[in-house]
Structure 1
Amino acid sequence: MDRVIRRGLAASALPMVLAALSGGPAFAQSAAPENETASQSGLADIVVTAQRREEKLIDTPISVTAFTSADLEAHEAVNFVDVAQYTPNFTALTTTGSNHNVGAGIRGISSQEPALAQDPRVGFYLDGVYLAKNSGAVFSIADLERIEVLRGPQGTLYGKNTTGGAINLVTAKPSGEFGFEQKFTFGNYDRFTSRTIIDLPETGGFSLKLSYLKSDRDGFFKNDNPGTQVREMDDENTDAVRVALRFQPIDWFTADYAMDWTRSKSVAKPPQISTVIPGYADVPVVTSFTPFTLAPDNPFRQLIAAGVVSPDKRLKHFSLDGVQPELVHVYGHALNLKADLGNAELRSISAWRAYRSKAEPGLNDAFDFDGGAWVEPIFHNGTVASNGIHKKQDQFSQEFQVLGTAFDERLQYTAGLYYFRETGQELSNQWNALIFLPANTIPGLNFDALYRQELILGGPPGGLGENYSIRNTSKAAYGQLTYTPPWLDGRLSFTGGLRYTKDKRKASVLDADPIWTTSKSFDNLSPSFTMAFAPNSDLNLYAKISTGYNAGSIPVRASTQAAFNTPVGDEKLTAYEIGIKSEWLDRRLRLNAAAFYYDYDDLQVSDFQEGSTILTNAGKARITGFEVEFAAVPVDGFTVTANYGYTDFKYREFIVGGVDVADIAKPPYAPKHTASGALEYVFPAFSIGELSARLDASYRSKLTFDPFQFVNTAADARTLLDARVALSNIELGRTRLEIAGWVKNLTDEEYRDFGVDFGSIGIAVNTWGDPRTFGLDLTLAF
């Protein structure tokens, strides 16, 4: 622990010195977050920008869950994955092979494929800038003000169209006044985090805010192999910097420039074998590469006979000699211009972003056993264990918007033009499987010498797409009008939206000889209509019909050139939703609810086939469900929150090889039930400070990861508990101090987090969720 303390203090010394030299007045009290309005005894107002303009959550006719800065602190959250378990009908988790790739689903519409050739169904936005890929979407942000999770199709208000929903990451802007905050976190697994935020006074119209986050943690899994220097897996070593510069020379014009940069070096979670499929010990196995039959003395036969494969145990120790860390850089620049012309506001959002990932190939040539209780797979491809993958993606986007009002503010309008361009490349090593069984490692099995069997699946056939490049563009025009007629004292409003999108996809398979190249264009017109009725300021009822569209894709991992030249078609969604936003009992109780019905056509599904993820149009689906979100302050200082989400996803048609398999396919990332709740009590203030205690619980029902390969890898239902106790507003001269202790996964529940079924060789693997972690936060501000 001393080691990490010294390292962290050194890392934060310069920002602290800068803050001390800046001078300026001290803060007597903590500034209220920009997105909250304080309330003496009831619930605070939550202000969101889900409709591109600031408005109260209760006035927003969209199913949205918002996490304020206080919520993010309570959950130790620095990205959207950290809050997914507390959001109804939202699933987000890191996938196998990288700590920075995400699989995300909202109301059953998911995107989990990290290949650069595919667009996500859930859109990620950072201060209005679209983040184009699942790869590299998980990165740290030191100065988050708010996270908004929007459920349902988005497009008539956002630069990029998405069918599932949108995640808005909103950062805190420069205030123009001096402020300083330093937070240290110490925890088990040698965790050390330092977060420094400096807000400098306005000078000549310029305001500057700097933030720096450094986070180190040992891995949850240990590598005991003496042949490698990599001892920690699922570790964390991250540096994140953000610079926010505001220029406001006159009252009606604001220019916000932001630069964010994240560097990470880590080893992904190691997958472990959860199942050896019994049938593969008795019948020949034919892969899409090389056919082979399991010999009588094949290790898989011995594993089955010995009964050493356990699907219900999270392993702590592995023995891998080819583990390599992944180096990830995510960085970007954004310029946001606003001109307030009275009844209209003009906006421009220009952004460039880049993602780089590099992991050298390694050779994991060992099955290893721990007391005969588990077996660990040996693959050296990036999806399973040690990998050799280089990825890069660059994107540029330009968006123009005009927002305004007319007819005595009875008409509100938003219109926009959007342009997006990206290039990307992925270079991967070939698939090979090596199986190694040391002598006498399993009690009862007699191996007189080292047993080694190498199953060479061989190089992938041309066109599998382990090496490919992309070049995509998207252009769109969108708009939305809200009219409030004079009837019923302005309680009724009608909103209509329309979006036209034109997308072009181009891809090249670099491991084909000669190189294959193809392109395809898609276009779509997506309307929406909403009717809202607010009988009073504490109640808002709405009904909504919206449409969503996701462009088609080039199947870079197709096994033939003919398949590669047949792009996957675009998918379309028509969504019907009714909802209620309400506050009761003098704002001591808040109840929001929404019910939905989705008609989903030509949905794009990622199916894991013979070591590659193949994208296909599955056919049709019907999705129904609802969300309920509740918050109450029964007595001063005591807050109760709870939410529940239900999703019923049914394939109506799923054609594979000319056969409809809708009855057996399972939707990925679509748990039927999600729920969470929290109890928080803030004790009456006393001379030292303010004491608060919080307990969070979250539940997720059974989760599958692939439409077909789900029998052996699905994650069972799990319940997690988190707790936090904080003593805040401790005054030390001109400095305020907060001390908080926290525990995540309080009961140390073991649960599967992700899974892949390698049917071609008869095994299924899973990664597992984080064990119990605990720590202490020290926060100083003045």
Structure 2
Amino acid sequence: MRKLRPFLLGCAALAALHPLPLAAQEATPTASESGLGDIVVTARRVEENLQNVPVAVTGFNAEMLSNLNIANFGDLGATVPNLDVQRQFGSASAPQFYLRGVSTGSLKFETDAGIGLYIDGVYLGRPAGTAFDLADIERVEVLRGPQGTLFGRNATGGAINFITAAPRGELRVKAEGTIGNYDRYKGRVSVDLPAWGPLSVRLSYLHDENSGYVKNLTPGRTFTFTEPFGTVKSAKDFGRENTDAVSVAARLDFDALKIDYKFDYTDKTSTQLGQQLLGFDPSFAGTAPFFYSDPSIVVGPSTKRQKALALDFTTPSHLKIQGHSLTAAYDFNDQITLKSITAYRKLDEFVGGNDIDGGALVVGGLPFTPISSIQDRHQDQWSEELQLLGNMGQFEWVVGGFWFKEKGNDDNPVFIGTLFPPVTLEPSRGPGTGTTVNIFGVPSDYLAGSDASVRNKSLAGYAHLTWRSDAFELAGGIRYTKDKRREELRAAGLIPFVTPAETFNASSDHWDFDATATYIVNPDVRFYARFATGYLSGGVLGGVEFKPETVKSYEVGFKGDLIDNTLRINAALFHTDRKNVQTLAFNAASGTFILSAPKAEENGFELEVIAVPTEGLTFNTSFGYLDAKLADNPTLGPVNSLAPKYTLNVGGQYDAPHFSNDSYLSFRVDGAFKDKRLSDPVQNSATAQLTTLPSRFDINARLSLVDMPIGGTKAKVSAWVQNLTDNQKLEFARNLSTSVIGVFQVPRTYGLDVGFEF
């Protein structure tokens, strides 16, 4: 991939300069031309206008994605009501999502996420490792609230679907480039090839890189481990990314039969934002001076964002993601279609070293860590979904079946109070094993870590029926899901030095339902009421079985395009009841564990408004309110909800009158607010101040010269800035039962984009 990069970027540059005739542009109405344009979503597994779907859903087309600089799942947090996305520590590629109070982001293969993540309708079994860029995104849709009937298990909070571009069957080239501060360089080229009979193909390549935002005071320190870890070297800086991504889309069109193959591949090397030491748990603080045995390194705690940290064990991580999907749709006639989605996806991530304690420490001349880890993860999955879709008169329906199988291996020792002598390091699996040296008397590097494999299977069948008249629409669905889960523990806790390696099995099944009634005032205005259930699969973690989480949701909503299609108002009011709530927590004694709350209740409100008061001027805002209450854990007491109570996004865009050459200036500004929120699910009054994330309001801006004629084509040049006011707020924090560690948000970034399409 690295060798191909100069060649592909060179092709993009040559293509951009070659004076080919401008291809006919796809007709896409803009706000200034025809009021508010339609946005297509597949919330009910068929393409529909977003305004006609009785579900709380936010949709983005390609132009919106470009203006908002959205390239992956992690970029959506500032644009959707009651959605928060945080960059946690533990992996540079595992963002933490909160949607209507439901969270995801665990690095553990044994646990699933309550938010369904999809690419081209294919379910991603592992939410960890989703901060990867796709080379060719066409649109995105975010469904809020349980989607248990049509999207299945693990969509209790909602579903997020990225749809990549399909081939067009005519020669077209699109090339884009970006330069920015922190050594930001980005290039992307997409090529549509002319159709060859029934076959059309589209190829895309993306390269994106930047240097880090925080310097490492201890770069280049090397540690050599036994396989599968090998030699690791501490990072030069934190927040650095280097991504190459490729996508291929091919279509065979035989009229009644259409076959689409899509392939995406991402190779990403990156470092975390940098774990900063915020303070100590009071029960541990008395021993803190013991760690400052290297006077040349300053590792004292601070609640202010530092421009340099001493992390001698945090190394770059390397993520490889690939996906293949084959979608075939056969139209028996105008009313009935049979559709098959067959997919394979693979994840390989060497997370590398993770200096969890937030300091570079030396004891007796040897590197020492109060708590750090190293991790190597691999996962692959197969899935098959078969759908029979029909529309007959006033009825539309879909009947489907879904099969999913995954396997994964995760080797993740956690070093507690450990010295690293200058030898090949083998993590200890019990007394008398390994070459690490523990000075706290902890008998194993896997006491809080694990070396485990998983084998998970899921099988489901579902049906959904919609009846429409001019004034009413009634819809309902049902789904049955059966899950089987297996955990093979080679090392974890007291395994294997007290009890032998063991395999644990769990199974569960569930029926889900939804029902929706819609009153259609006129083609542009409708009210709806919806009831839906959801199911988050249970399983086994560390040999301890945990129950499935279930949810019931009640929602009423309004969707309206008003004032001659110049004002769009979408609103939803919801109440959610959850049982056996699965919250992931961590402490140094037991590592990651399920912090279960018997029940939870969320009440909330969401509002999205887009207005075009005059030609060329567009305003948008979204507001989310969430009141989340979790019951106490029977053993540990109160459990914190980590979702913000208020989220707000405001934005505006002005497209100036066209110049004589038909180009024009466009200015856009967006602001995103999220309320203060907790970042640790375990309540601890002594450290609550350190683990409370402050409220923040971030501003992004973009100034563009659009449709500038150059060499027989048209170009778009944009100057942009993100985090305009250079906020430096705490983004994620956690009490590790020893020290309190946090990461801070990305500072102000700015740059210049240039794009051509012909």
Q: TM-score, normalised by structure 2?
A: 0.88
- How far residue 645 of structure 1 moved from its aligned partner, in angstroms, is 0.1
Amino acid across the alignment from 2:592: T
Partner of 1:740: 718
Q: Which amino acid aligns with 1:671?
A: P
Partner of 2:323: 332
TM-fit CA distance, 1:492 = 0.5
Note the C-alpha offset of 1:161.
Answer: 4.5
- 1:703 CA displacement: 2.2
Match of 1:14 in 2: 11
Query: How far apart, CA to CA, are the structure 1 residues paired with 2:350 and 2:411?
Result: 10
Q: Distance in 1 between matches of 2:357 and 2:79?
A: 40
Name the counterpart of 1:654: 632
Contact 2:318–2:351 (8 Å) recurs in 1:
yes
Q: Deviations over 1:341-364 (max 9, x none)?
A: 210111000000000011444889
Q: Tell me, yes or no, if structure 1 residue 274 matches structure 2 residue 278.
A: yes
| 8 A Cα contact 1:465 1:510, kept in partner | no
Q: Give the Å deviation of 1:607.
A: 2.1
CA RMSD of aligned residues (A): 2.8
Seen in structure 2, the aligned counterparts of structure 1 residues 126 and 716 have a Cα distance that, compared at 3 Å, is same
Would you say 1:677 and 2:650 are equivalent positions?
yes
- The equivalent of 1:538 in structure 2 is 524
Alignment check: 8 A CA contact 2:313 2:372 kept: no
Taking the aligned partners of 2:129 and 2:399, their CA distance within structure 1 comes to: 30
Aligned to 2:260: 256
**Contact between 1:361 and 1:380, CA under 8 Å: does it hold in 2?**
no
Offset, 1:632: 0.3
Deviation at 1:770, TM superposition (A): 0.2
Aligned partner of 2:483 in structure 1 is 503
- Conserved? CA contact 1:267–1:324, under 8 Å: yes
Question: Please, which of 344, 350, 359 is the counterpart of residue 358 of structure 1?
Answer: 350
Q: Counterparts of 2:450 and 2:248 in 1: how far apart (Å)?
A: 37
Deviation, structure 1 residue 368: 6.3
Residue number among 46, 57, 60 corresponding to 1:53 in the alignment: 46
| Offset, 1:252 | 1.5
Matches of residues 22-421 of structure 1 in structure 2 within 5 Å? 26-27=22-23, 30-32=25-27, 40-158=33-151, 160-225=153-218, 227-228=220-221, 230-248=235-253, 250-278=254-282, 280-281=284-285, 294=287, 298=290, 309-311=301-303, 313-341=304-332, 342-361=334-353, 367=359, 378=369, 381-382=372-373, 388-406=374-392, 408=393, 410-421=394-405
Query: Does residue 1:551 correspond to 2:534, yes or no?
Result: no
- SS, match of residue 526 in structure 1: strand
Letter in 2 for 1:265: T
Report the AA paired with residue 765 of structure 1.
I
- 1:95 and 1:462, CA in 2 relative to 1: closer, same or farther beyond 3 A? closer
Q: Given the alignment of the two structures, is residue 639 of structure 1 paired with residue 618 of structure 2, yes or no?
A: yes
Tell whether the 8 Å contact from 1:142 to 1:211 is kept in structure 2 after alignment.
yes
Where 1:554 maps in the other structure, the secondary structure is strand
Give the alignment partner of residue 471 of structure 1, picking from 450, 455, 474: 455
- Structure 1's 720 and 236: CA in aligned 2 closer, same or farther, altered over 3 A? same
Task: Answer whether contact 1:127 1:169 (CA < 8 A) is retained.
Answer: yes
Q: Any idea what the Cα deviations from partners look like across 1:125-170, whole Å, max 9, x if unmatched?
A: 0000000112212211121111111001112222554211100101
Shift of 1:429: 2.4
Q: Give per-residue Cα distances to partners, 1:230-255, cap 9 Å, x unaligned.
A: 3122101000000000111x211110
Out of 418, 426, 431, the position equivalent to 2:415 is: 431
- Cα deviation 1:686-721 (Å, max 9, x = unaligned): 124111001100000112233215612221111100
Give the structure 1 partner of residue 757 of structure 2: 781
Q: Matched residue pairs, number? A: 709
1: CA distance, partners of 2:345 / 2:677: 33
Q: Is the 8 A contact 1:212 1:240 kept in 2?
A: yes
Pair 1:9–1:732, CA change in 2 (3 A) = farther
Contact 1:97-1:269 within 8 A present in 2 as well? no
Shift of 1:317: 1.0
Unaligned runs of 5+ in 1: 283-293, 370-375, 383-387, 437-452, 557-563
Please give the alpha-carbon distance, in whole angstroms, between the structure 2 residues aligned to 1:159 and 1:105: 18
Give 2:570's aligned residue: 592
Give distance in 2, aligned partners of 1:730 and 1:20: 14
Whether the 8 Å CA contact 1:8–1:192 is kept in 2: the answer is no
1:493, CA displacement in angstroms?
A: 1.2
Cα deviations by residue, 1:335-390 (Å, 9 ceiling, x for unpaired): 00011221011100000000001144488999469xxxxxx9955634xxxxx211
Q: 1:269 is paired with a residue of what secondary structure? A: coil
- Tell me the CA shift for residue 221 of structure 1: 1.1
Structure 1 residue 504 displacement after superposition: 0.4
Q: Give 2:728's aligned residue.
A: 750
Quote how far apart the aligned CAs of 1:729 are: 0.3
| Residue in 2 that maps onto 1:722 | 700
What is residue 673 of structure 2 aligned with on the other side?
699
1:365/1:598 Cα in 2 relative to 1: closer, same or farther (>3 Å)? closer
Does the Cα contact within 8 Å between 1:430 and 1:459 map onto a contact in 2? no
Residue 584 of structure 2 corresponds to residue 579 of structure 1: no
Structure-1 separation of matches of 2:683 and 2:751: 38
1:765 matches 2:741? yes
Cα distance in structure 2, aligned partners of 1:298 and 1:158: 53
- Distance in 1 of aligned mates of 2:396 and 2:181: 52
**2:74 match: secondary structure:** helix
TM-superposed deviation, 1:454: 7.9
CA 1:219/1:378 → structure 2, altered by over 3 Å: closer, same or farther? farther
The aligned amino acid for 1:568 is F
Asked if 2 retains the 8 angstrom alpha-carbon contact of 1:281 and 1:301, the reply is no
For the residue of structure 1 that corresponds to 2:169, the secondary structure is coil
In the TM superposition, what whole-angstrom CA distance separates every residue of 1:84-126 from its partner, at most 9, and x where no partner exists? 1111001122321222112111100112211111111001000
Q: 1:731 aligns to what? A: 709
Alpha-carbon spacing, 1:418–1:214, altered in 2? closer, same or farther (3 Å) = same
2:583 to 592, 595, 605: 605
- CA 1:132 to 1:18, structure 2 compared with 1: closer, same or farther past 3 Å? same
User: Which of 509, 520, 535 is residue 506 of structure 2 equivalent to?
Assistant: 520
Contact 2:72/2:130 (<8 A) preserved? no
Distance in 2, Cα, partners of 1:621 & 1:61: 25
CA contact (8 A) 2:705 2:717 kept: yes
Closer/same/farther in 2, CA of residues 99 and 115 from structure 1, 3 Å limit: same
Shift of 1:320: 3.2
The amino acid of 2:23's aligned partner reads F
Amino acid of the residue matched to residue 743 of structure 2? T
SS in 2 for 1:655: coil
Cα distance in structure 2, aligned partners of 1:227 and 1:217: 19
TM-score normalised by L of structure 1: 0.86
Q: Is the CA contact (8 Å cut-off) linking 2:153 and 2:534 kept in structure 1?
A: no
Cα separation, 2, equivalents of 1:151 and 1:584: 23
Cα distance change of structure 1 residues 585 and 365 upon mapping to structure 2, 3 Å threshold: closer
Task: Tell me by how many angstroms 1:573 deviates.
Answer: 0.4
Change in 2 beyond 3 A, CA 1:208/1:656: same
Shift of 1:20: 8.9
Matched residues in 2 for 1:157 and 1:47: separation? 17
1:439 maps to none
**Worse-superposed segment, 712-721 or 736-745:** 712-721
Q: How many Å apart are 1:434 and its aligned residue? A: 5.9
Q: Which amino acid letter does the alignment assign opposite residue 14 of structure 1?
A: C
Closer, same or farther: CA 39–159 of 1 in aligned 2, 3 Å: farther
